[in-house]
Structure 1
Amino acid sequence: MGKYKDKEQKEENRMSHPKRAGRVCTALAVVLTAGSLAACSDGYKPKPLSENAVSLTAALNADAKVKEGGVAASFTEKNIGFATEFFKRSFQEANTLVSPLSLAVALSMTANGAGGNTLSEMEGVLGAPLADINGGLSSYMSYLEGESGREITLSLADSIWIRDNVAPHVNRDFLQTNKDYYDAQIFSAPFDQTTIKDINTWTENETEGMIDKLIDEISPDTFMYLINALYFSGEWAEKYEKKSISDGRFTSLDGSVSTVDMMNSTEGLYFSDENTTGFLKPYKGGEFAFAAFLPDEGVTISQYVAAMSAAKWKNLFDKSTPVAVKCTLPAFSYDFELEASPLLKEMGMPAAFDGEKADFSGLLPDAYIGEVIHKTRIEVDAAGTKAAAVTGIGMRCESAAPEEYVVRLDRPFVYAIVDTENNYPLFLGAVTRLPAK
C-alpha cells in the first residue's frame, strides 16, 4: 500500500446489520416515480459479515446534528435534471434501468471529500452546492422513510469500506459527515477475498437478495468503496385478477414479436404531451406509483429518450389528466449494470477521475475516483413491483498501489545464499557467463 504501511490492531467486529374518455396505452418506456428506502419484510434472511470487516462507525460522534434542507428546493427539483440526463446517456437501445437516487447519494458521499475544481464540477453535475445536496438528500430520505406501518417496503443503506492500513489516514471529518447525513456504516477491511465476499454480502443483504454481487475483484490501488443500496417492494393498490391477464404480443425494438403476459386494468391518471401518452398505476397506500410512457407512433424509443429533460418531465406530471384510462402492461423482469465513469465525465466532472487533477484532499491526498459501478434489477408482475439498485464508487490512490519492481537477471549478476535472521552469506558468487542451452 505504498506509504500507508501502519497497521492498527483490529477491534472487535461490531456488525449486526443495522438499517436503517379513456385511451388504450401499452407501456413500453417505464419509470418508477419513487427511488428505492426499512426492514427485511419480504422473507429474506440477512447473512453475517466476516470477522475481517471491522466496524469503525461507533468511533464517530453519534450525537451530531445535521441541517436538513427543503425536499423540493434542495433535492428533487434540482436533481431531476441529473436524473433525466444520466438516463439519456445510459440508454443504449436495450432494456435499461438506473436509479438516479442511488447514484446521487453515492456521488454526494464522495463529494464530501472533494475540493477546488473537482468539487465545483461534481456540484455542477448534481445540480446544487454541496451543503444543499447533503441537507436536501438527508431531508428527502427522511421523507421517503415515512411513517411505520406503511404498506410498501422502501429501504436505503450506505456504507464506506476502507483498506485497513489506509483507514488511520482517512480524514475523520469526511467519515463523520457521511455518517451524519447518510447514516453510513464504516468498515475497515483487508481488501482481500474476504472483503470482496463481505461487500457482496452487504449488497445482497441490503437489496433483499435481488442483487447478490457488486464486485468481482479489488484493484491493488483501490483503498475505499462508497456504496449505496436501495430496495423497493410494493403491491398494486388494485392487483390484477386472473381474468385481467392474457397472452399478448410485444414488438421489440428490432421488430421481433414475442408472446408475453399482458395485464389489463383501468387507471385514473393520464399523461399526454406532443410525443407521448402514459398512465400512473398506484401501489398500496398511494405514496408511490408506477408511471409508464409510450412514445407516439412514428417516434422511436431512442428519439423519445434523447428528448427527455427535467422541464418535459415536470410538464408531463403538471398537465396530467384525472380520467379513466384503459391500460395494458406487460409483466417483465431484467437486470441491468453499467460502469458509469465515462458518462459522468461527459456530464461535466472529468477532474474527479484524473489522478493528476482530482482534489479529494478532504478525504485523502492523491485520491481519485477509479470506478463507478451501477447495478439494478426490477420485477413487475400481477402482484406488484420489486426493484433494487446498488452503486459502488471505488476510490484509488497512486500511493496506495504497490510499486511494481522488476529485476530481470539477463546479464552478469551477484548472488548469495544467506541465513534470513542475520543475512550472513553462506555462499556468495557471481555469474558472468552462461553457456547456450
Structure 2
Amino acid sequence: MHLAVRLLLLLATPLALSQSQPHPGHSEGNFTDSSHQEMPGTGWGSPSLRIVSSNTDFALRLYHVMASESPGKNIFFSPLSISAALTMLSLGARAHTQTQILQGLGFNLTEMTDSDIHQGFQQLLHTLNLASGTLETHMGNALFLTRGLQLLPKFLNHTMAFYESQLFHTNFCDSVGAAQLINDHVKKETQGKIANLVTELSKDTMMVLVNYVYFKALWEKPFSPSKTSPEDFHVDASTTVQVPMMWQDDHYHWYLHDRYLPCSVLRMNYEGDVVAFFILPNPGKMRQMEEALTPEMLTRWNNLLQKRAFFYRKLELHFPKFSISGSYELDQILPRLGFAELFSEQANFSGITKTLNLKMSKSFHKAILDVDEVGTKAAAATGFSVVFKSAPKNPRVLRFSRPFLVVILSTSTQSILFMGKVVDPTKS
C-alpha cells in the first residue's frame, strides 16, 4: 500500500490597501518594529527565532531551483508552509529519512535537537495565528486518513500539539467524495479563495497531509483606484503587455537604488507585523540579481531600509495591479535540495503507523497572490516631519514596468512568508 502524502500548501493573498502615516516612534524597517506589540514568547533566544536562519536559507535555495527550472515564468510560493509541512512529516519519519528531511531543510542537528525544531514551529504557528487587527494570517494543517488506518499515538499527539493539525477520517475508495471533503475544508480555511483544488485521488491513497496559509493585509499607504490606468509592462526585450498600473505621488516610502547591485529595492508596509520588499532589477539584469539573492543580501536591505532616514523619501510610484499563482510538484523539486530518499522505496515512515509499509507518492504546493488598490482604513501622524524636511523636494520616480522579485516577511517572527518573481502580470 502507498501513503499519498499530498502537501497541498495553499496560499491566498489579496493585498487590500489602506492609508495611514507612520505613528510617532515607528521604526519602519525593523523585523521587530517597536510600534507593534511584541507577540508573547517571540523575543531574542525564543524557539521560533532559532529556526529563522535555516528557514530563510531553505527559502532561497528553493527559489533558486524553481527559477532554474522555470526561466521566464512567474514564480510564487510559501517557503514557510513547505518547511512547516515537511517538519510535521518528519514526526512520522525514522532513521535516515528523518535526518534527511531535517538536514535538507537546513537544520544543523549537532546544534539543535528535533524537539527544538518542532517547538520553534509550534511557537511560530501560534504567533502567526494570533489576531492582529486588520491583518489576517492563518496557517494550519490537516490529516485526512483512510478509515481503519491506526496511527501511532505519539505521531498523532505531536502533530496536534506542535502543528495544530486537524484529523479527518476519509473513505478514499470514494475518490470523488474524498476530494470533495478536502476541497470543502480548504475552501473554508482559505475564506473561499481556494476552491476545487483536488480533482482526483487514487483509491489506494491512505493519507493526505494538507498545509494551508491564508494571508490578507492592508497597505499602510494605498493607491487610489481612480488613478489606475493601462500602461506597458515589458516582459522581455521583445514582449510588451498592457497592465492596469496603479499610481501615487504623494507618499513617502522606504526605497533605495543599490550601489553595488543593479537594482532598486522598495519596502512597502502593511498594517500589522508584515512588510514586503519589491526588488526591481535594472533592464536585462534579472539573472544577475537572482544569483546575488542571499540571506545576507536580504538582511543588508532590511538594515538599510530601517535605519537610514535618507532612504525614506517622497516617491512617484507606478506599480501593476495583478494576480499570479504558482503550482508545483514538490516531488520533482525537493530531491534537488537533498531530499533524495523522501519519495523512494527506501523512505521510512514507520513512525506514522506499524500496520503498513507506507510510501509517499506525491507532494503538491499551490500559492496565490493578488495585489490591488483596495483600502478601508485611514490614519495620520506627524512623527516623521523631520524626515520629510530632510528629504529631497523633488520626488523620485520608480516604475515597476518590467519583471521584479517579491519577498513578504513577518516582522514578529522574522520569517519569509512568501516569495516569488513577477515576469508577466497578465498571466495568472
Per the normalisation by structure 1, the TM-score is 0.67
Q: Match of 1:353, as an amino acid?
A: F
CA offset at residue 123 of structure 1? 0.8
Q: Which has the higher contact order (CA 8 A, sep 6+)?
A: 2
> Equivalent residues in 2 for 1:242-261 (5 A)?
242=225, 244-253=227-236, 255-261=238-244
1:81 aligns with 2:66: no
Change in 2 beyond 3 A, CA 1:369/1:267: farther
1:313 aligns with 2:298: yes
Change in 2 beyond 3 A, CA 1:177/1:351: same
CA offset at residue 379 of structure 1? 0.9
Contact 2:224–2:247 (Cα < 8 Å) also in 1: no
Name the counterpart of 2:157. 176
Q: Match of 1:145, as an amino acid?
A: N
CA distance in 1, matches of 2:263, 2:98: 37
**Match for residue 294 of structure 1 among 280, 283, 286:** 280
Contact 2:48–2:119 (Cα < 8 Å) also in 1: no
Secondary structure at the aligned position of 1:358 is classed as coil
- After superposing the two structures, state which structure 1 stretch, 73-82 or 188-197, moved more: 73-82
**Match for residue 214 of structure 1 among 197, 222, 240:** 197
1:336 aligns with 2:322: no
RMSD value, Cα = 2.7
CA offset at residue 310 of structure 1? 2.0
**Match for residue 323 of structure 1 among 272, 293, 312:** 312
Change in 2 beyond 3 A, CA 1:71/1:311: farther
CA distance in 1, matches of 2:253, 2:48: 25
Contact 2:261–2:289 (Cα < 8 Å) also in 1: no
Which runs of 4 or more aligned residues in structure 1 lie more than 4 Å from their structure 2 counterparts after TM superposition? none
> Equivalent residues in 2 for 1:36-435 (5 A)?
70=46, 73-91=49-67, 92=70, 93-128=72-107, 129=109, 130-146=114-130, 148=131, 150-166=133-149, 168=150, 170-191=151-172, 192=174, 193-242=176-225, 244-253=227-236, 255-265=238-248, 266-271=251-256, 272=258, 273-285=260-272, 287-299=273-285, 301-320=286-305, 321=308, 322-324=311-313, 325-355=315-345, 357-365=346-354, 366-383=357-374
Q: Percent identity?
A: 24
CA distance in 1, matches of 2:348, 2:332: 19
Contact 1:164–1:188 (Cα < 8 Å) also in 2: yes
CA distance in 2, matches of 1:228, 1:267: 37
Per the normalisation by structure 2, the TM-score is 0.69
Contact 1:211–1:376 (Cα < 8 Å) also in 2: no
Based on CA coordinates, which of the two structures has the bigger radius of gyration?
1
Q: Match of 1:90, as an amino acid?
A: M
Secondary structure at the aligned position of 2:140 is classed as strand
CA distance in 2, matches of 1:210, 1:253: 31
CA distance in 2, matches of 1:202, 1:372: 18
CA distance in 2, matches of 1:373, 1:384: 33
CA offset at residue 243 of structure 1? 5.1
Change in 2 beyond 3 A, CA 1:238/1:176: same
Contact 1:267–1:327 (Cα < 8 Å) also in 2: no
Unaligned runs of 5+ in 1: 3-32, 35-68, 391-437
CA offset at residue 353 of structure 1? 0.8
Contact 1:279–1:327 (Cα < 8 Å) also in 2: no
CA distance in 2, matches of 1:136, 1:263: 39
* Count of residues paired in the alignment: 319
CA distance in 2, matches of 1:290, 1:363: 38
Secondary structure at the aligned position of 1:367 is classed as coil
CA distance in 2, matches of 1:204, 1:72: 28
Unaligned runs of 5+ in 2: 3-29, 32-44, 377-407, 409-416, 419-428
Secondary structure at the aligned position of 2:325 is classed as strand
CA distance in 2, matches of 1:337, 1:254: 26
CA distance in 1, matches of 2:187, 2:115: 31
